[in-house]
């Protein structure tokens, strides 16, 4: 997931934006969701993989995504002080229980 510049047909430089996949932890804000991305990193001392979690605030224009959904987010110009990501697509929605 590098941000190497490429050129489009008109000759302008284009930077590919980073894309991450994570699970929505909170959808309580208006037009904003909190997405938790889990990565595995090798521990320098013990040579074991440890789980690293990071949370990103992402823009959800239509308030269509719910807590528990797996989504893909992409870098975007800043929407606010902490929000620099945008939800691109839904990957998986957990099954609903019928009551």
Contact 57, 38 (CB under 8 A): no
Closest CA to 21 of 35, 31, 6, 11: 35
Contact 35, 58 (CB under 8 A): yes
Look up the pTM and report it.
0.81
Contact 32, 57 (CB under 8 A): yes
| pLDDT values of the chain reduced to their tens digit, one per residue, 99 residues | 556 667 777 777 777 899 999 999 999 999 999 999 999 999 999 999 999 999 999 999 999 999 999 999 999 999 999 999 999 999 999 988 877
């Amino acid at each position: 997931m590098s941000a190497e510049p490429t050129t489009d047909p008109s000759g302008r430089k284009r930077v590919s934006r980073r894309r991450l996949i994570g699970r929505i932890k909170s959808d309580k804000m208006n037009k904003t969701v909190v997405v938790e991305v889990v990565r595995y990193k090798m521990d320098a001392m013990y040579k074991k993989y440890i789980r690293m979690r990071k949370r990103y605030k992402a823009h959800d224009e239509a308030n269509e995504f719910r807590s528990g959904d797996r989504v893909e987010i992409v870098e975007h110009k800043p929407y606010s002080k902490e929000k620099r990501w945008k939800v691109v697509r839904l990957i998986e929605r957990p099954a609903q229980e019928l009551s």
